[in-house]
Chain A
Amino acid sequence: MNRLMYLLPLAIFLVIAGYFAKGLTLNPRDMPSMLIDQEVPPFDLKPIKGQVRGLSSEDLKGQVTLVNIFGSWCVACLAEHPMLMKIAEQKLVSIYGIDWREKNPDDGPNWLARRGDPYTLIGDDPQSKAAIAFGVTGAPETFFVDRRGFIRYKHVGPITPENWESTLWPIVQELRKL
């Protein structure tokens, strides 16, 4: 018993080291979303320049949808853009866009004109109104909304062919069964 006492500091150290090993390797940008299983926050965004319809929370009811936060300034959005185009062309699921924080109202439309527009509807969010309501911390982020308008999943970072096949497409199919 007495001899075991001498091992106590080592044991305490190992426990603390274990917590540090876990804690220091977590990505601080991965934050749990508060909005999972919550209804989409009410919002009503104006159209981006050159388009007639904007985007409101009412548009997201009736079918499973993706809500993608993007911006022409966002490099990772550029990286995921071809994948979004593919999803739209194959009509796998409708993607709704929130054009976040463009410095110039022409930037978003120009970006889409050059590369293609995968979005069914787009809302312009120059002051982060919708972005904050969704608890967005960076772009791109994609919210998976069920037909009743409830957020069921949040994907942080670009959608790639790999994570689409392995995780995201199965989630869309699951949500369709609900």
Chain B
Amino acid sequence: MADCSGAQKTLRMIFGFLYGPSGAGRSLRSPGLPQWWRPAVAGLVVALLLALSFSPVLAVEPSEVLDDPVLEVRAREISKGLRCVVCQNQSIDDSNADLARDMRVLVRERLLAGDSNDQVTDYMVSRYGDFVLLNPPFKVATYALWFGPLLIIGLGLFVVVVFYRRRSSTSVAETTPAALSNEESRRLEDLMKDET
């Protein structure tokens, strides 16, 4: 079975070139360069690749494409949302794995048989679970996922507000201390007399 190709191999190539013991990486090094140049160059290369990768790279083979352009568009739309269970960070639309190919073909067969987009997706979920969806669905089991970040931001804001409230109230206390009671001022006077 074909393994995951494409992006993963490309990344290995780049990092091999930068971090590998031999090849072009070594000739780039010169004693004058500061320590941070390697991560910096790696970052630049990755950024460049990301920018380039937005041009669509298709794993869909010509033989798979449906004659009906409307159905084909729907098939592509569905495929983009389905995870390749072999190369787990790619959609079946992007993946070259054999199983992803068979899943794409199955998506098209079901569309030809008259299934709606949701029926096709539901079939895949019934076989592989929510895991096969690249977008996690909104339901009770995923509330923590969807609301968690909001909750943490809320908690953070609350802590910040409490912190600043406290600080401003203590600073007011420092500048205008409570007035002395009669007892206290009498004692203070006594002390002052003793000094002189």
Contact = CB atoms under 8 A, between A and B. Distances in A.
Interface of A: 8, 28, 31-32, 34-35, 41, 71, 73-74, 101, 127-129, 131-135, 137-139
Contacts of A28: 88
Nearest to A28: B88
18 contacts: A31-B128, A31-B129, A34-B128, A34-B129, A35-B127, A71-B1, A101-B1, A101-B98, A128-B99, A128-B103, A128-B106, A131-B99, A132-B103, A132-B106, A134-B127, A135-B129, A137-B128, A139-B1
Given A34-B128, A134-B127, A127 B102 contact: yes
A73 B105 contact: no
B128 A135 contact: yes
Contacts of A34: 125-129
B59 interface: no
Contacts of B103: 128, 132
Contacts of A127: 102, 105
A98 B98 CA distance: 16
Contact of A74 (B1, B105, B128): B1
Taking each of B86, B103, B129, which has the highest tally of chain A beta carbons within 10 Å of its own beta carbon?
A: B129
Contacts of B102: 101, 127-128, 131-132
Interface of B: 1, 85-86, 88, 98-99, 102-103, 105-106, 125-129, 131, 159
Given A101-B99, A128-B106, 6 more contacts: A73-B1, A101-B98, A128-B103, A135-B128, A137-B86, A137-B128
A135 B127 contact: yes
A32 B1 CA distance: 22
A28, A128, A129, A134 — most chain B CB neighbours (10 Å): A128
B102 to A, nearest CB: 4
Contacts of A73: 1
Nearest to B105: A127
Contacts of A129: 106
Closest 6 CB pairs of A and B: A128-B102, A135-B127, A137-B85, A34-B129, A135-B128, A127-B102
Contacts of B106: 128-129, 132
A20 B103 CA distance: 32
B14 to A, nearest CB: 23
